[in-house]
């Protein structure tokens, strides 16, 4: 039983470390635990069938708590065969507590670096492993804070793109009417760059897909209808320069759509237009997949 407990604890620690690595450190990666939590949260719908804006942050907190619980349990299983004989106790009678509960307590104290000092390992292997657990706990806390610091700037860029596109649409500029070639080219270049940034953010931080916006003016999935209008207007332009910028924008749109289709199995479509329309629908916003030509200003 001692060997089995140790092996099981080591497996839990490896699984947790791999999930943290895949989610936070590997570009375009998402750990299995993180993926399951975000997908489960995304299935919860509020009024009108829209996802709740709070689900994204809560999912991150849930994943973080899950990592802490798995790490605590993994180390506790490693300590369990040595409780209480492998520890020196001060002011505590270990025989008054269940060995598993005592192992969990020791693990939590070490992981959170509290260091009460009431249970000190005396076995050489445990004296080495206990500081490693404290180091891992500190690293996990730092990584979790870094996760939030990565996600929210990316969400800020996504919201900025939505505001820009909505403002352009409100001004009638997405159809490139009454815009000279130089102005149209500059507008297309700016939107292409902003969309490329959002696409890179989605590749690096796959979890931002699951952050929904209640306000349509802040929702990039809703505002993508205006980018399709802009792309089509550039394609029909008589200016070679404008059409060239339109091709660049269309390429970024296609790359984004392919990434979404590959990464998020619940989003399906036969074209970039249909995929982006499906994304908007999953966020509770709807527009026609027919390139949004005739409904630029309406839902």
Among the residues of the chain, which ranges form H helices? 2-20, 32-42, 55-79, 99-111, 124-170, 181-204, 220-235, 240-263, 272-282
Sign of CA dihedral 85, 90, 95, 98: negative
pLDDT tens per residue, range 144-170:
888 888 899 999 999 999 999 999 999
How confident is the prediction along the chain (299 residues), in pLDDT tens digits per residue? 789 999 999 999 999 999 988 888 776 666 788 888 988 888 888 777 788 888 888 999 999 999 999 999 999 999 999 999 899 998 888 888 899 999 999 999 999 888 777 889 999 889 988 889 999 999 888 888 888 888 999 999 999 999 999 999 999 899 998 899 999 999 999 999 999 999 999 988 888 999 998 888 999 999 999 999 999 999 999 999 999 999 999 999 999 999 999 888 888 888 999 999 999 988 988 776 544 444 444 43
Q: Any idea where the domains of the chain sit in the sequence?
A: 2-144, 153-282
From 58, 8, 20, select the one nearest 38 (Cα to Cα): 58
**Quick check: 241 and 181 in contact, CB under 8 A?**
yes
Name the DSSP letter for residue 73: H
Distance CA 25, CA 13 (A): 17
**Quick check: 219 and 283 in contact, CB under 8 A?**
yes
Sequence-distant (6+) residues with CB within 8 A of 274 are: 268, 289
Distance CA 5, CA 73 (A): 11
Distance CA 116, CA 34 (A): 32
Name the DSSP letter for residue 265: T
Give the predicted TM-score (pTM) of the model. 0.81
Sequence-distant (6+) residues with CB within 8 A of 27 are: 203, 204
């Amino acid at each position: 039983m001692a060997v089995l407990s140790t092996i099981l604890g080591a497996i839990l620690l490896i699984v947790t470390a791999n999930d943290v690595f895949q989610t936070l450190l590997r570009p375009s990666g998402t750990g299995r635990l993180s993926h399951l939590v975000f997908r489960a949260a995304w299935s919860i719908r509020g009024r009108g069938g829209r996802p709740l804006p709070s689900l994204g942050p809560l999912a991150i907190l849930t994943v973080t708590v899950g990592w802490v619980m798995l790490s605590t349990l993994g180390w506790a299983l490693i300590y369990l065969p040595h409780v209480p004989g492998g520890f020196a106790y001060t002011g505590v009678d270990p025989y008054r507590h269940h060995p598993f509960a005592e192992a969990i307590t020791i693990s939590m104290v070490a992981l959170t670096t509290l260091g009460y000092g009431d249970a000190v390992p005396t076995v050489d292997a445990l004296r080495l492993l206990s500081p490693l657990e404290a180091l891992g706990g500190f690293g996990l806390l730092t990584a979790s804070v870094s996760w939030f610091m990565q996600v929210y700037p990316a969400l800020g860029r996504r919201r900025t793109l939505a505001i820009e596109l909505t403002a352009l649409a409100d001004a009638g500029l997405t159809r490139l009417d009454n815009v000279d070639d130089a102005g149209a080219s500059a507008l297309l270049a700016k939107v292409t760059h902003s969309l490329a940034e959002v696409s890179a953010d989605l590749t690096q931080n796959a979890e931002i897909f699951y952050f929904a916006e209640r306000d349509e003016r802040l929702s990039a999935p809703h505002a993508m209808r205006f980018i399709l209008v802009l792309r089509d207007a550039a394609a029909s332009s008589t200016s070679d320069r404008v059409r060239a910028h339109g091709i660049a924008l269309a390429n970024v749109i296609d790359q984004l759509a392919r990434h979404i289709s590959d990464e998020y199995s619940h989003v399906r479509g036969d074209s970039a237009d249909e995929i982006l329309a499906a994304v908007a629908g999953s966020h509770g916003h709807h527009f026609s997949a027919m390139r949004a030509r005739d409904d630029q200003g309406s839902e």
